[in-house]
Amino acid sequence: MSSIRRRAALPLAATAATLALTVTACGGGGSGSATGSGDGGRLRVSLAFPPAQAMSPYGDDAVTLSRLAVVEGLTALGRNGEALPALATGWKPDGDRAWTFTLRKAVFQDGKPVDAESVVRALAAAEQASPKPRVLSDTDIEAEAVVSGGVQTVRITTKTADPLLPQRLANPSLAILSAGAYGGGKVNPAGHATGPFTLTELNGAVSATLTRNDSYWGTKAKAPGVDVKFVADGKARANALRAGQTDIAEYVPVSQASLLDEGQVREVPTARTNSLYLNTRKGPFADAALRAAARTAADSKALVEGVYEGRADTAQGLFGPGVGWAAKQRVPVADRTAPAPKDEVTAAGEIVLATYTNRPELPEVATAVQQQWEKAGFRVRQVVRDYAQMEADALGGKFDAFILPRNTLLDTGDPSSYLASDFTCAGSFNIAQLCDKQVDAAVAATVSAAGTPDRQAAEMKAEAAVLRTDAVVPLVHERFVQGVGKGVEGVSLDPTERTLVTADTRVG
């Protein structure tokens, strides 16, 4: 009986990658032309967000790869946020800070076997990436291949005890890729992943082509391939669906939903809450009383009825209907600062309110909030640009207020990572610039909770601690409005936004 133990030390400074893919001219062949759903049953999909980093798995493009069923991790997420088998068939704790994962027999899209060494390589690359994937912002991982008697296992150790590691490993940024994906400081998932579909062609920010992975370990994809177009204009995506030019139109604007046939609109509550993040470090909203005045002036119901045309839910807290267990466990918010009187609001100076154009409702939300705040006495100036031009300024505290929809379950399928990244002193996505000892202690309690019931109870206490500061003002809980063509079946309506096209998606 052979036994092999090997620790990987991958010398890869993985950065935002440029894919070495076949490139076609704009307007040329391949996925740039509409093939029609009758072309061998190929799916036509219109996505809202073009690749920002040439499909690097270490940024937001990882979610796109996941929504197109290209990449997989060791685990997947269930409907209630639980970890399910994917490339790992099972796992168990191994000491205080480690877990052991048993691998299934599978092959990569390039024919190489999925073995313990390849898993170690992939996780080491993610750990060493710069910038590091957000899902690893609050922890370090070290993977070790352990092969005994032909059984492939991987032992993964974390910096501190991490009961959420199985859920964390379902994050698309921790997708397992073959050795051929890495080289020259770049990461190329095309043909090197394990999902039901293989990315075969990327035409910049215009289109992409996927083909069925016939060596997939699970149920083979029912569609022979997917032709993807990246269409930032929500009205154009809806028009393409109405005209029969696409089978799936991602994120249909609410203003367009009523213009589609009733059977083409699929609506589902999400884990995404649209909130106002108020700059607690500098400017007018460094004053807690002014933040409280901003909170009381914001009218969630008016936004739901006016901007969202009823296709959203009024804000109840950080977690809405898409986080199914939250409402029953919500903790009352205590010890909030009283709102500043109107004369202090009027004397506060100009408020710079920012948001971005990529989601069509957001500029309308900003205008509605501006009107609500001005009625309360604030003086407001809007800044609205493309998100790629704003993120650095938002994270750097350049705005007094920022309107941002956040998927509260995106990183680990559990709110603890969202709470840590957005609201703690060391948080990597702390737009509110919040640093509060009570909040940090409450969030730390969510990470250390051993079981799911205890963790969820701690997360609701942390929600109350965050809301007490008025660093964030929940506006609405969003719903997905996905456009699905007639005869199209198997589209995934996922509250966590990780899946859209699956092996079961097909043209009927």
Q: Indicate the domain borders of the chain.
A: 29-70+195-261+486-508, 81-192, 269-479
- 3-state SS assignment for residue 45: strand
Q: Which CATH class is domain 269-479?
A: alpha beta
N-term to C-term CA, the chain:
50
Tokens 């209630």 identify what position? 80
Rounded to whole angstroms, the Cα distance separating 245 from 262 reads 18
Pure H helices in 88-158: 116-128
Tell me if 205 sits within 8 A of 21, measured CB to CB: no
Which residues on neighbouring strands pair with residue 22, listed in sequence order?
A: 201
Compute CA 253 distance to the chain's CA centroid, rounded to the nearest angstrom.
19
The CATH code that applies to domain 29-70+195-261+486-508 is: 3.40.190.10
* CATH for 81-192, options being 3.10.290.10, 3.40.190.10, 3.40.50.150, 2.60.120.560: 3.40.190.10
Tell me if 458 sits within 8 A of 449, measured CB to CB: yes
Mean pLDDT, 10 residues at a time, over the chain (508 residues)? 39 34 32 40 95 90 96 92 94 95 98 98 95 85 93 95 92 97 91 98 96 97 98 94 97 91 91 97 98 98 96 96 92 96 97 93 96 98 93 95 92 87 92 98 88 90 98 96 95 90 95
Which residues on neighbouring strands pair with residue 144, listed in sequence order?
A: 7, 155
Rounded to whole angstroms, the Cα distance separating 431 from 399 reads 9
Token couple for 402: 């920022």
CB atoms within 10 A of CB 122: 28
Tell me if 185 sits within 8 A of 14, measured CB to CB: yes
Token couple for 181: 């994906």
Which residues on neighbouring strands pair with residue 183, listed in sequence order?
A: 186
For the chain, give me the number of helices (H) and strands (E)?
14, 22
Q: Do domains 81-192 and 269-479 have the same CATH topology?
A: no
Confidence (pLDDT) at 499: 94
Confidence (pLDDT) at 428: 85
Compute CA 172 distance to the chain's CA centroid, rounded to the nearest angstrom.
9
CB atoms within 10 A of CB 306: 13
